[in-house]
Structure 1
Amino acid sequence: MKAPLFDAIEKYAASRPVPFHMPGHKMGKGLPEAFCSGMAKYDVTEIPGTDNLHFPEDAILMAQDMAAEAFGADKTFFLVNGSTCGVLAAMRTVCRPGDRLIIGRDCHRSVYNGISMWGIDPVFINPAYNPEFGISSITEPSVVEKALTDYPDAKGVLITSPNYYGICSDISKISKLVHDYGKILIVDEAHGAHLRFNRKLPLCSMDQGADISIQSAHKTLPALTPGAFIHIKSKSVDIDKLQRNLRMLQTTSPSYLVMCSLDIARAIMQEKGESLLDDLLDSIYNFRKQIAGINCISVLTGDSLQKGSHDPTRIVIGMGCKRGFETEKLLREKFNIQVEMSDMNNIVCIATVSDNNEDLSKLACGIRQVAESFQAEESLRFKVPSRIPDTPERAIGMREAEDLPQRKVPIRNANGCIASDYLTPYPPGIPVIIPGEVYTDEIIGYVLGIVDAGGKVNGIYGKQLVNVVG
């Protein structure tokens, strides 16, 4: 049987890697054996006894209600099309075509898709910047308040917390501001589905006043890809409209495997989450001790931040200027460790309740040996990384830019051109330029720096060509 995708995944699994990437079940370790071994028999459809995702009355309704209780929501819906589906549904529920929405510039690609699909007029706000690691940080409450003051007709605010690096904004302060202005707060909490289940972690957004929260269970819980939740805790959100939007956006053939895994993940975390996360946190603190004293690396912790908080289960290691991509490659090739992502300067590892002390000890050993190999090279110094480019000028709307004729030009010659496509370092999937915005030398240099260092940027084609209007 020739099945190239199956063969590729089988080869990866057979190599017995140490996976510090999503999904959170870590190649089945965190899921019940009975579910994993009998997976095919759970792949059913809407028949008597299995309920209907779009009009639940029985088992799915009960499972969603139990999830709402576990996650501190008034209402929870299962998402089988990932958090992307929840983000799009939330945006369409809160906004009509032409409405303004205040949006964190560090949002995921799905938010930009929603802007284009629903004809939303975005008001972008920039996150703070962490110069030690060269990454975006929190969304400042003062920045949110200024946008609310400057754009009183905005329907709401959409921000990301935690971000890909585990940095959490002060949702309590932000939600109070948003509600004082009579608006709705949507939090893309894709990386925070586990937060509510241990008091040592930052508070989840539902417990800090968010109206809508979208969580990717498959990222940090023992759930199958692309299982996710959308939670609502607000009288200001039109639940009926949200349900209609979910019916429109979700497949009419939902995966019962994914829904079962959402139900299982909720049950595991509700019953044992606190103790499982305690064990994980102990392993993470032991990991930190094992890599302490390596003088050419830096570990992102809450102490690294002037404001906000950090989720310690998101392990971020600064490896030195332009060493992130190389470190990921060496860990994979020499130690059979696959991290979640790397950027110019850092590696990012996702640790979940499916990981154990042995996994983290292997990671510590790998990082130590890679760092020691770097120390011998004079070029390795912890320089302040290149700053993330400022938001470029918007010349025309996104939909107009996407619909106009376009051409490809070498990115080095794109200064002054209007983008007709996204340029998105992936991961983490946050565009540096979107359709309708104007290319600058700063953006071009930043993107080429990522490519030259070995990173992947979606939106660059062939011999470093990009799509522009014209």
Structure 2
Amino acid sequence: MNFVTPEPHDPRDPLGLASDAPLLDGWLRFRAAVDAGTTMPFTIPGHKQRTHLVGDVVRGDVPLYAGLDTMKQDGGLLVKAEQRAAAAWGVDWCRLSVAGATHANQAAVLALGRPGQDVVITRTLHRSLLLGIVLAGLRPVWVRPELDAATGLPGAVPVAAVEAALAAHPGACGVVLGDPSYIGTRSNITAHAAAAHAAGVPLVVDAAWAAHFGFSPAVPSHALTLGADALITSAHKTLPAWSQAALLLARTRRSGGLLDPDRLERGFDATHTTSPAGAILASTDAARALLQHHGADLIGRLVELVRDARERLAAVQGLAVVTDRPDGHPAGPLHVDPAKLVVLLAGTGAHGHAVEADLLAAGIPLEMADRDVLVPMVTLSDDKHSVTHLVDTLVAAIEKHRGEPRKAAPATAWTVEPATATDPRSAFFARHETVCAATAVGRVSVELIAPYPPGVPVLAPGEVISAAALNALQATLADGGRIAYASDPTLATMQVIAS
């Protein structure tokens, strides 16, 4: 291909990251060649950057093969990018995914054990991990975070709980934790890694919301620095990358870790597309270069923006925000991502869905809203103007809907205790029937059901449908929440193992 080298200050690369991002450089070269008319690909995908049929929606969708690189990968651009990402996180193995942390989580689980083995895993997991367990045929041994009494939100997963689970299940193949949690609370990863390694098994950390960790003194170190064997993170959740951009990073046996690099490769390839989107890959490569070259400044500014927003919101009567509490605090210690803004509404009496509706009307969608909790995502892409506008609009909406203060009620996702009847894989493939919800209590679910967000399962395949779980889900629905992944999101019917 006759690629044209972009100008040094290409507006498509305003910070000049391409010099350290081979996939981004390939994307820029391909786009320049198409724009200049010096290349006319006759390859899949067939739209070939031509917008005369469906418009700009296909512009920029460059494939990896015969796009960023040749069909035969002669340039080795993907390998180079993955090597640079591995070095950036200080490990020996990395793969870039175009199917999100969902795919990376499932690949990691496939690399852990054999069908029928136990795995110690947090109950507040993302659905992708649960379905990874189905794919791998593992048996979950649940550990739960402590509920923070002051906020009703999940705090740290106790190290003692993981140690006890490993002691009770000596054949377990690994420990899998989600850290930080969806609402930014953190566990002691160093101690969890020590507990896992003492039992001879790896620690895998789903850090989907923490791609920025470890690249600035203003935020915590990332899990691999703290002793984890593998880390999954979403480049698109906290970094300026395309949706579905994610990384799976690991310290393997080649460098003293506990994970088999060959199993990781097979697990990754088994569940990944054979037609990876070059634009997603290039954006991940660019985001990695951005972190390495500008992360300290950008993340420091982000933490300052969140700190200022927290201070303004905490000054509003009845309003609270989630922040760190030191050891010895009367309400107990709490460790939180300093770049995460989580707003607690119970003391204002305002309903989160009503506040969210006002924000939507003002053109401000939120990451999450339920009755008592709002999560507006402040990111590296924000500035003082955008955050000030968010806070002003949020405060106005809260004042509009202010009511009698209430006690915060922990969300269903954090409180329902599972009752396991069979392993998730057996239930997933079992013969099933659809029954009225009223008659489902006591039956075994074949489906995963979760309020969304956060998407944490209240019912998983293989679990007994309890009255408490059903009532909690129905209460969430009646309160205006969304029920995700259920075959019937109205909860009039449920799918159970056939009798």
Contact 2:17 2:290 in 1 (8 A): no
The two structures, once aligned, show a CA RMSD in angstroms of 2.7
Give the Cα–Cα distance (whole angstroms) in 2 for the partners of residues 67 and 175 of structure 1.
22
2:327 equivalent to 1:311? no
Alignment of 1:22-421 (within 5 A): 40=59, 43-47=62-66, 50=69, 58-235=76-253, 236-303=258-325, 306-307=332-333, 309-320=335-346, 323-333=351-361, 335-375=362-402, 377-378=403-404, 380-385=405-410, 388-421=414-447
Give the Cα–Cα distance (whole angstroms) in 2 for the partners of residues 149 and 78 of structure 1.
35
1:441 CA displacement? 1.8
User: SS at 2:151's partner residue?
Assistant: coil
Give the Cα–Cα distance (whole angstroms) in 1 for the partners of residues 172 and 129 of structure 2.
16
Contact 2:351 2:372 in 1 (8 A): yes
Give the Cα–Cα distance (whole angstroms) in 2 for the partners of residues 160 and 282 of structure 1.
25
Give the Cα–Cα distance (whole angstroms) in 1 for the partners of residues 378 and 354 of structure 2.
21
Change (3 A) 1:410 1:137: farther
Give the Cα–Cα distance (whole angstroms) in 2 for the partners of residues 49 and 289 of structure 1.
45
1:104-154 superposed Cα distances (whole Å, 9 cap, x missing partner): 001110111011111111111111112333222221111111111111111
Contact 1:296 1:382 in 2 (8 A): no
Change (3 A) 1:420 1:384: closer
Question: Aligned partner of 2:387: which letter?
Answer: L
User: SS at 1:350's partner residue?
Assistant: coil
Give the Cα–Cα distance (whole angstroms) in 1 for the partners of residues 393 and 343 of structure 2.
12
Which deviates more from structure 2 when the two are superposed, residues 230-239 or residues 188-197? 230-239
2:463 paired residue among 407, 414, 437: 437
Contact 1:134 1:345 in 2 (8 A): no
Give the Cα–Cα distance (whole angstroms) in 1 for the partners of residues 332 and 14 of structure 2.
36
1:48 CA displacement? 8.7
Give the Cα–Cα distance (whole angstroms) in 2 for the partners of residues 412 and 358 of structure 1.
51
Change (3 A) 1:88 1:395: same
Give the Cα–Cα distance (whole angstroms) in 2 for the partners of residues 445 and 49 of structure 1.
51
1:29 CA displacement? 11
Contact 1:91 1:114 in 2 (8 A): yes
Give the Cα–Cα distance (whole angstroms) in 2 for the partners of residues 66 and 56 of structure 1.
18
1:242 CA displacement? 1.0
Partner residue of 1:18? none
1:409 CA displacement? 3.1
User: SS at 2:171's partner residue?
Assistant: coil
Change (3 A) 1:194 1:268: same
User: SS at 2:342's partner residue?
Assistant: strand
Contact 2:422 2:462 in 1 (8 A): yes
Question: Aligned partner of 1:218: which letter?
Answer: H
Partner residue of 2:51? none
Give the Cα–Cα distance (whole angstroms) in 2 for the partners of residues 368 and 30 of structure 1.
35
Contact 2:314 2:321 in 1 (8 A): no
Q: For structure 2, which runs of at least 5 residues remain unmatched after alignment?
A: 1-12, 19-23, 33-57
Partner residue of 2:36? none
Q: For structure 1, which runs of at least 5 residues remain unmatched after alignment?
A: 1-27
TM-score normalised by length of structure 1:
0.87
1:32 CA displacement? 8.6
Contact 2:98 2:245 in 1 (8 A): yes
1:272 CA displacement? 0.5
- Highest Rg: 1 or 2? 2
Contact 1:217 1:228 in 2 (8 A): yes
- Write 1 or 2 for the structure with the bigger share of strand: 1
Give the Cα–Cα distance (whole angstroms) in 2 for the partners of residues 166 and 386 of structure 1.
15
User: SS at 1:287's partner residue?
Assistant: helix
Change (3 A) 1:421 1:134: same
1:289 CA displacement? 2.8
Give the Cα–Cα distance (whole angstroms) in 1 for the partners of residues 315 and 338 of structure 2.
19
Higher RCO (CA 8 Å, separation ≥ 6 residues): 1
Question: Aligned partner of 2:359: which letter?
Answer: L
User: SS at 1:158's partner residue?
Assistant: strand
Question: Aligned partner of 1:103: which letter?
Answer: I
1:384 CA displacement? 4.3
Which deviates more from structure 2 when the two are superposed, residues 37-46 or residues 203-212? 37-46
User: SS at 2:325's partner residue?
Assistant: helix
Question: Aligned partner of 2:298: which letter?
Answer: L
Question: Aligned partner of 1:447: which letter?
Answer: L
Size of the aligned set, in residue pairs, is 439
User: SS at 1:457's partner residue?
Assistant: strand
1:31 CA displacement? 11
Give the Cα–Cα distance (whole angstroms) in 2 for the partners of residues 290 and 394 of structure 1.
45
Contact 2:60 2:279 in 1 (8 A): no
Give the Cα–Cα distance (whole angstroms) in 1 for the partners of residues 14 and 477 of structure 2.
35
User: SS at 1:433's partner residue?
Assistant: coil
User: SS at 2:111's partner residue?
Assistant: helix
Change (3 A) 1:456 1:106: same
Contact 1:52 1:60 in 2 (8 A): no
TM-score normalised by length of structure 2:
0.82
Contact 1:296 1:371 in 2 (8 A): no
1:386 CA displacement? 5.9
